[in-house]
Amino acid sequence: MNKIQVMDEDLSNKIAAGEVVERIANVVKELVENSIDADAKHIEIELIDSGLKGIKVIDDGFGMNKVDAINSFQRHATSKIKRVEDLFFINTLGFRGEALPSIASVSKVLMKTSDGTEGSLIEIHGGKLIKNEDSDLRKGTIITVSDLFYNTPARFKYLKSEQTELANTVSFMERLALSHANISFTLSNNGNVIIKTSGSGNLLKTIHEIYGTEISKNMLEIRSSNDDYDLFGYVCKPSILKSNRNYMITIVNGRVVKNNELNRVINDAYHKYKPDIKYPVVILEINTDPTLIDVNIHPTKQDIKFSKIDALKELVLTTIKDALYKSLLIPKVEVKIKEEGLNDIPIKKEYEIIEPSLMINEDLTSYNHNEDIVQESFDFKVDDKNEEVKALELYPCGWVLGTYIVAQDEDNMYLIDQHAAEERYNYEHVLKSLKEEKKNIIDMLIPVSIELSPSDYLKFKEYRIILENMGFNIEEFGLNTIVIKSHPTWLTSGYHDVDIRGLIEEVLEYPKDFSEIKFRDHFAATVACKMSVKANESITMEQAKAILDKLVTCDNPYNCAHGRPAIISYSKYELDKMFKRVMN
Contact 81, 74 (CB under 8 A): no
pLDDT in tens, 468-480: 777 778 888 878 8
pLDDT at 341: 41
Q: Which residues contact 576 (CB under 8 A, 6 or more apart)?
A: 582
Give the mean pLDDT of 324-335.
Answer: 49
Contact 207, 219 (CB under 8 A): yes
pLDDT in tens, 470-526: 777 888 887 888 888 887 776 655 555 666 777 777 777 665 555 666 677 777 777
Backbone angles phi, psi at 128, to 5 degrees: -105, 130
Three-class DSSP category at 487: strand
In this structure, the number of other CB atoms found within 10 A of the CB of residue 262 comes to 23
Largest CA distance in the chain: 104
Helices (H), 109-259: 153-156, 162-179, 203-211, 213-216
Burial of 331 (0-12, 13-18, 19+ CB in 10 A): exposed
CA distance 578 to 484: 56
Assess whether pLDDT exceeds 50 at residue 204: yes
pLDDT at 280: 92
Burial of 201 (0-12, 13-18, 19+ CB in 10 A): exposed
Three-class DSSP category at 90: coil
CA distance 177 to 155: 29
CA distance 280 to 270: 8
User: Chain-centre distance of CA 487, in angstroms?
Assistant: 25
Contact 264, 309 (CB under 8 A): no
Assess whether pLDDT exceeds 80 at residue 262: yes
3-state secondary structure 185-200: EEEEECCEEEEECCCC
User: Chain-centre distance of CA 244, in angstroms?
Assistant: 3
Q: Which residues contact 561 (CB under 8 A, 6 or more apart)?
A: 423, 424, 427, 524, 525, 528, 529
pLDDT in tens, 435-467: 766 667 777 777 888 888 888 888 788 777 777
Residues constituting the chain:
584
Assess whether pLDDT exceeds 80 at residue 255: yes
- Domain 9-192, CATH number (from 3.30.450.40, 3.90.1150.10, 3.40.50.2000, 3.30.565.10): 3.30.565.10
The topology (CATH level 3) of 344-584 is Ribosomal Protein S8; Chain: A, domain 1 (3.30.1370)
With DSSP H G I counted as helix, E B as strand and the rest as coil, what are the percentages for the chain, rounded to 5? Answer: 40, 25, 40
Residue spans of the domains in the chain: they are 9-192, 218-339, 344-584
Lowest mean pLDDT among 257-261, 380-384, 537-541, 549-553: 380-384
* Residue 39 vs residue 530, higher pLDDT: 39
* Residue 4 vs residue 22, higher pLDDT: 22
Any bridge partners for residue 474, and if so which? 484
Assess whether pLDDT exceeds 80 at residue 43: yes
Any bridge partners for residue 44, and if so which? 58, 186
Any bridge partners for residue 400, and if so which? 404
Lowest mean pLDDT among 126-130, 331-335, 396-400, 454-458: 331-335
Helix or strand (DSSP H, E) at 324: helix 309-324
CA distance 445 to 557: 35
Q: Side chain identity at 275, as an amino acid letter?
A: P
Q: Kindly indicate whether the domain formed by 218-339 is annotated with CATH number 3.40.50.720.
A: no
For the chain, the first-to-last Cα distance in angstroms comes to 94
- Report strand pairing: 248-252 vs 282-288: parallel
Give the mean pLDDT of 175-183.
Answer: 94
Assess whether pLDDT exceeds 70 at residue 301: no
Whole-number mean pLDDT of the chain? Answer: 76
Give the CA distances from residue 282 to residues 262, 326, 510, in Å, rounded to whole numbers and listed in that order. Answer: 11, 17, 21
* Residue 353 vs residue 528, higher pLDDT: 528
